[in-house]
C-alpha cells in the first residue's frame, strides 16, 4: 500500500495580547519614579556641596577645632555617597525594566517589584529603629557618671553656628526637599508593585499557550485481505414461479406494468401467498404428497426442516377451567358496642380468619 501523505495546516499566528490599563498606569508611574530618583541624586550632591560650604564658613566664624571640622566633613561625604549610590542603583533598575514591563516581560516585572520593595523595606526599617531608639531612651535613665557640665557636640560654638547657617538660605529648602522626594519615590514604587501584581496584570504576563492545531490523521497499517472463501455464484434470473394464465389487458403491449418491490423476507422461513391464510411450518414429511391445496406439489419453495429443539407441531392442551364460581372475599363486620364480648360473633363463621382462597383464571380459545 503506497504511503499516504496527509497535509497539515500551518498554525495560525498568535494573537496579539492586549495590554491592560493597570500595566499602562504602572509604566507611567515607573517613569515618574525614575525622574524622582534622578532628581534625588542630583539634589543630594548639590546639598552636600552647599553643606560643605556651610562647614567652612562656620569654622571660620567660630575658630572651631580642626578635628570637629574634619569629622563633620567625613559624615557629610558618607551620607551623600550612600544616598547617591542607592538612588543611582534604583534609577538604573527602574529605567532598564520600564519598557520590558510594558511589553509583557515577566522577568522585568519581578525585578521591578524587587526594586520597589527595597526602599519600602528601608523606610519600614528606619521607622522601626527610630521607634525602638525612642523607647529605649525614654525607658532608661542616663548613666550616673555622666558629666552634665561637659561640652557636648550640640553645645559647641561650631555646631551652634552650623545649625544656624543651615536653617537659613538655600540649605533650608534643600534640606526639606530631599526627604520629600525620598518619601514620594517610595510611595510611587509601592503603587507600581501593586499595579503589576493585580489579576489583570498577572494574566497579561502569563506566557501564551500554544495555538491549538488540528494535525492530520496518523498513518495506519494497511488492512489485511480477508480469507479466501468459496462463494456461490448468484443466479442470473429469479427462481421459477408458478405460471398463471394470461389475461387480456387494455394497456399497450409496449408499455411494461409497474414493478412492485419485493418485501423483506427471512432467508429460510417463507411467507404465505397472498389471499391465503398463514400455514404453520410442520415437518416436511407431515404434508400430504398426493396433491391438493396443502400438499408439497402446491408449494413453489422448500420448507425448512424443524430442528430438534423446536416446538412440537401438536397443539398444546388447554389448562383446566373452573366449574364453580370462586368464593368472594370475606368482609369483616364490626361488633356493636352493646354486644356481649363473651359471646362469639354469630356473623362470622368458624375458620373464616384462616381461610385462603387461591384460584387461577384461564382464557378459553373460543
Determine the straight-line distance between the first and last CA of the chain, rounded to whole angstroms. Answer: 70
- Cα–Cα distances in Å, from 174 out to 40, 47, 52, 158, 167? 11, 6, 13, 21, 10
Given a contact cutoff of 8 angstroms between Cβ atoms, the answer to whether 84 and 45 are in contact is: yes
Query: From CA 34, how far away is CA 45, in angstroms rounded?
Result: 17
Full DSSP string of 77-124? HHHHHHHHHHHHHHHHHHHHHHHHHHHT-HHHHHHHHHHHHHHHHHHH
Along the 366 residues of the chain, how does pLDDT read in single tens digits? 455 554 555 555 656 678 899 999 999 999 999 999 999 999 999 988 888 888 888 888 887 788 888 888 898 899 899 989 989 999 999 999 999 999 989 999 999 999 988 877 877 776 666 666 666 666 555 555 555 555 554 567 877 888 888 877 777 788 888 888 888 988 999 999 999 999 999 888 887 776 666 555 555 566 666 666 656 666 655 555 555 555 555 555 555 556 665 555 555 555 555 555 555 554 444 555 555 555 555 555 555 566 666 666 666 555 555 555 555 555 555 555 555 555 555 444 454 444 444 444 444 444
Interatomic CA distance for residues 86 and 42, integer angstroms: 12
Residue 223 is predicted with a pLDDT of 65
**Given phi > 0 = left and psi -120 to 50 = alpha, else beta, which region is 63?**
left
Nine-digit cell string for 169: 538660605
> Residue 161 CB: number of other CB atoms within 10 A?
18
Q: Is residue 159 within a helix (H) or strand (E), and if so which, with residue range?
A: helix 157-166
Domain ranges of the chain: 21-138+157-205
- The three cell numbers locating residue 70: 574634619
Per residue in 61-84, pLDDT (tens digit) is 887 788 888 888 898 899 899 989
> How many angstroms separate the CA atoms of 1 and 180, rounded?
83
Amino acid at each position: 500500500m503506497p504511503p499516504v501523505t496527509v497535509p497539515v495546516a500551518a498554525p495560525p499566528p498568535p494573537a496579539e495580547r492586549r495590554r491592560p490599563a493597570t500595566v499602562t498606569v504602572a509604566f507611567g508611574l515607573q517613569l515618574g519614579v525614575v525622574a524622582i530618583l534622578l532628581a534625588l541624586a542630583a539634589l543630594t550632591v548639590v546639598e552636600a556641596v552647599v553643606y560643605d560650604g556651610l562647614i567652612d564658613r562656620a569654622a571660620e566664624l567660630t575658630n572651631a577645632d580642626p578635628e570637629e571640622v574634619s569629622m563633620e566633613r567625613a559624615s557629610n561625604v558618607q551620607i551623600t555617597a550612600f544616598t547617591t549610590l542607592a538612588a543611582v542603583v534604583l534609577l538604573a533598575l527602574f529605567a532598564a525594566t520600564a519598557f520590558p514591563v510594558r511589553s509583557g516581560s515577566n522577568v522585568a516585572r519581578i525585578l521591578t517589584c524587587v526594586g520597589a520593595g527595597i526602599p519600602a523595606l528601608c523606610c519600614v526599617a528606619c521607622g522601626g529603629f527610630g521607634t525602638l531608639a525612642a523607647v529605649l531612651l525614654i525607658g532608661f535613665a542616663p548613666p550616673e557618671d555622666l558629666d552634665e557640665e561637659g561640652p557636648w557636640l550640640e553645645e559647641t560654638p561650631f555646631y551652634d553656628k552650623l545649625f544656624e547657617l543651615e536653617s537659613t538660605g538655600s540649605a533650608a529648602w534643600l534640606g526639606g526637599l530631599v526627604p520629600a522626594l525620598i518619601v514620594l519615590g517610595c510611595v510611587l514604587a509601592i503603587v507600581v508593585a501593586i499595579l503589576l501584581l493585580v489579576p489583570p496584570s498577572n494574566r497579561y504576563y502569563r506566557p501564551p499557550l500554544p495555538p491549538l492545531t488540528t494535525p492530520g490523521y496518523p498513518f495506519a497499517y494497511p488492512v489485511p485481505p480477508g480469507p479466501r472463501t468459496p462463494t456461490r455464484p448468484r443466479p442470473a434470473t429469479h427462481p421459477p414461479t408458478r405460471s398463471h394464465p394470461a389475461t387480456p389487458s387494455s394497456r399497450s403491449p409496449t408499455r411494461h406494468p409497474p414493478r412492485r418491490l419485493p418485501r423483506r423476507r427471512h432467508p429460510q422461513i417463507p411467507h404465505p401467498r397472498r389471499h391465503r391464510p398463514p400455514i404453520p411450518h410442520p415437518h416436511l414429511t407431515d404434508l400430504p404428497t398426493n396433491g391438493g391445496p396443502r400438499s408439497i406439489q402446491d408449494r413453489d419453495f422448500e420448507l425448512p426442516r424443524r430442528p430438534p429443539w423446536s416446538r412440537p407441531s401438536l397443539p398444546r392442551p388447554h389448562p383446566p377451567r373452573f366449574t364453580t364460581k370462586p368464593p368472594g372475599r370475606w368482609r369483616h363486620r364490626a361488633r356493636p358496642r352493646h354486644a356481649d364480648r363473651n359471646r362469639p360473633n354469630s356473623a362470622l363463621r368458624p375458620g373464616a380468619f384462616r381461610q385462603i382462597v387461591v384460584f387461577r383464571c384461564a382464557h378459553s380459545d373460543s
